[in-house]
Amino acid sequence: MHTFIRYLDALTSEKLPLQIYRKVLAIDKIRFVREASLASLSMIKRETLLKMLNTFNNLTYKRATAAINLKKCEAFAGLPQEDLQKIVEFTAVKFLEKGECLFREGDKANNFYVVGKGAISLFRTHVSGKERVLHIYRAGESITLASLWPCKEYSADAQALESTQVLLVQKHEMLEILKRHPEQLFRFFSSMCNDCRTILEMIEDAATQDVETRLLNWLLKQCPNQDANDRVIVPLGMTKRNWAAELGTISETLSRTLGKFRKEGLIEVNRRTITVLSPARLTTRINSNSE
């Protein structure tokens, strides 16, 4: 078995959990033995191994990862296990490299998406060529829930900010599930409204607030208790350029603003994290900006 795992790892940069490999061998043992003797694995041609790996990724790995990631998504919370498994059957797992497009404005809205790993930027491009980031989706968040309704085309572009795993859920089949669960329909509607509200707030903030206030609000939203005086460590799962784009500014301005907040004793800046020293002080600072 370990020899088999080493061969698969050598053929893909995506090293998968050992328990998933074990599940594959347990479920598909007969098929694998039929295609190639595990005892003489060193004699298997590369093409055969690639075929086995492709089958593995498209079937067993898809079922395992889709079920886990769908459960983490707010839109699917509370859905009966039986229906969740049905959704898995018409869910595809897609891997995107940094900069790769998930969909473009005007593409047919046949699916909606759930981020399993990584990050997806939703943005629109002005006629001048300038991009405006609407929202950045991270693990567990669903994208374009509006495509479940009578929506024929996507109204923005979506692109991977890093190596990303996305679940593609087919629109028609998902609607059939929702018809049998009215309470789940309301859950999806609520999730969709939250998504829209977040995007509208970002657009409004960019139009009415300065960079300092936008950054303060962003940091405060990452704090579980916004009235506390305890330190909060905020992980940064994106580059400074992408962070600046989400805030509607540029990297240089973001760096200057972070430096200013650090000198004021509001935050500590590290390579991959920002430490908010006191959420309550951020609130006070925001209020002083609005006066």
pLDDT (tens digit per residue) in 191-209: 777 777 777 777 777 666 7
What number of residues does the chain have? Answer: 291
Least confidently predicted of 87-91, 131-135, 141-145: 141-145
pLDDT at 33: 43
Q: How many domains are contained in the chain?
A: 3
Asked if residue 263 and residue 158 are part of one domain, the reply reads no
216 and 201 within one domain: no
Q: Is residue 63 part of a domain?
A: no
Instruction: Please tell me whether residues 233 and 201 are part of one structural domain.
Output: no
Q: CA 134 to CA 122: how far, in whole Å? A: 6
Closest CA to 77 of 191, 221, 197: 191
pTM for the predicted model, two decimal places: 0.65
- Whether pLDDT at 16 is above 90: no
Question: Please, what is the average pLDDT of the chain?
Answer: 75
Boundary-marking domain end, from 206, 234, 249: 206
Tokens of 165: 């795993």
The per-residue pLDDT for 186 is 76
Expressed as residue numbers, the domain containing 45 is: 2-58
The answer to which of 48-57, 126-135, 216-225 has the lowest mean pLDDT is: 48-57
Same domain, 164 and 104: yes
Residue 53 maps to a domain: yes
* 202 and 83 housed in the same domain: yes
Give the DSSP letter string of 131-150.
EEEEEEEETT-EE-GGGGSS
Rg of the chain's alpha carbons, rounded to an integer? 23
- Rounded CA separation 214/220 (Å): 10
- Asked if residue 142 has pLDDT above 50, the reply is yes
Asked whether residue 80 falls in the same domain as residue 200, the answer is yes
Does residue 36 form part of some domain?
yes
Q: Among 168, 183, 206, which residue terminates a domain? A: 206
Neighbours of 291 (CB within 10 A): 4
- Check whether residue 180 and residue 218 sit in a common domain: no
Residue 68 in any domain: the answer is no
Q: What CATH number does residue 96 fall under?
A: 2.60.120.10
Same domain? 233 vs 155: no
Q: Confirm whether 7 is domain-assigned.
A: yes
**Residue pLDDT, tens place only, 64-78:** 667 777 777 877 777
Q: Looking at the domain assignment, is residue 66 inside a domain?
A: no
Which of 171, 206, 241 delimits the end of a domain?
A: 206
Rounded Cα gap, residues 132 and 203, in angstroms: 9
**Domain harbouring 266, CATH code:** 1.10.10.10
d(CA 125, CA 127): 7
Same domain? 78 vs 168:
yes
Q: Are residues 199 and 80 in the same domain?
A: yes
Do 218 and 174 sit in the same domain of this protein? no
Under 8 Å CB-to-CB from 81, ≥6 apart: which residues? none
Question: Does residue 67 lie within any of the structural domains?
Answer: no
In a domain, 65, yes or no: no
Same domain, 175 and 118: yes
At 106 the three-state DSSP class reads coil
Across-strand partners of 275?
233, 268
